[in-house]
Structure 1
Amino acid sequence: MNIDVKPAAVAELKKVEYGEGEGVRIESIFIGSCSIASEHHLKIDQKKEGDDLFLVEGIPLLVSKESQENLHEHISLDFNPSMGYKLTSAEETYRYNLKLERA
């Protein structure tokens, strides 16, 4: 997996104080329905078994194997003060208006 963190998101994520073993979890949970659907979340969380840790611009990013199955190989994270975080890939926009929360 390749994660591109845009400059605005880097600046915002560098304001966060991370505890020992913590990072920003990019989560994609398959919820299923009449169509293929997933929920996407962004939260500060502890690294768990089965997580991959990606260090991008000094920011620890956590993505579980399950979430990686629901995301494309190359994803991007951006930030807009009025719209929150945006998670995208070249193939699709996963979600706008993501809020960074503490797990």
Structure 2
Amino acid sequence: MMTSIDDTLSEIRWLRNGIWRCRRLLNTDLPGTERKALEKRLHEQLSAFERLSSTAFPFALSSKVYSVRSTTIGRSDSPEAPIENAAMVSSGCMGKSISG
């Protein structure tokens, strides 16, 4: 069965929101076991996000598009930064990335 672009974009947004949620929770004080489980979930969501976005948009938008390998799990100053450029794709702001 073929998935529509609307369904794909919806799933990308759902994954992006889950990633942001995990990162916000990781910035709080969590017990070790909960932190480990949340880090595992974050890594799974980042992998799914990268896999889905690369199949939905098989061309390179710019050299600034981040991958799972370039992200850090845990505390960071800007939890949204590693998926900022990829999130632009799902919001329809591709023009700036393609021309840059």
TM-score by length of 2: 0.24
Higher helix fraction: Structure 1 or Structure 2? 2
Tell which structure's C-alpha radius of gyration is larger. 2
TM-score by length of 1: 0.24
